[in-house]
Amino acid sequence: MRRRVPISEVRNLRRETLVALGLAALPLPGGGAQASGGGAAGEGLHLVAMDEVTVPIIDADRVNGALRFKLVIDAGSAEVATKLNGQMPVLRAATVAAGLEFARLNASALRAVDAQRLDQDLTRALKAAEPGLVRVLLVEVEARTG
């Protein structure tokens, strides 16, 4: 049985925890691989969680469903993570705008969500709002009717 981890617990996860959750298989920045146990003391992931976002899926001038997703921002450093926490309203606005655009152009409640494209769109939008962040990690994504 899969254990659901509240997004608030994702903030300061260590690599070992990410491996246990199955998130370590996500591509690393720069496209390279990193061996576990390397790096200086104090290094690690600096993740900033964002509350769940839900945007409508509009098709032919009707609300045809909802696109719901949760994300975590890979800040890259503690300084950027602190800055991101202070800019969360701006980042959330950029996330909602990118989610609305993705839902308008690429989402349907009747087919699977292209999570890779959504991830790229969100990363691009959030990097425009805060160039210091590394990437966006989608934790959960769902499109449903209704």
Regions in the chain scoring below 50 on pLDDT: 1-2, 11-12, 19-20, 24-42
Tell me, yes or no, if the pTM score tops 0.85: no
In degrees and rounded to multiples of 5, residue 137 shows phi and psi of: -115, 115
Cβ atoms of 132 and 48 closer than 8 Å: no
Query: Domain locations in the chain?
Result: 46-144
Using one digit for the tens of pLDDT, what is the confidence trace for 30-64? 333 333 334 444 467 899 999 999 999 988 788 98
Q: What is the pLDDT of residue 143?
A: 92
Say how far apart CA 62 and CA 128 lie, in whole Å: 30
Q: Are strands 47-59 and 135-144 parallel, antiparallel or unpaired?
A: unpaired
Q: What is the pLDDT of residue 115?
A: 94
**The sheet that has 47-59: what strands, in order across it?**
47-59, 62-74, 135-144
Q: What is the pLDDT of residue 75?
A: 94
Is 46-144 a domain of CATH 3.30.479?
yes
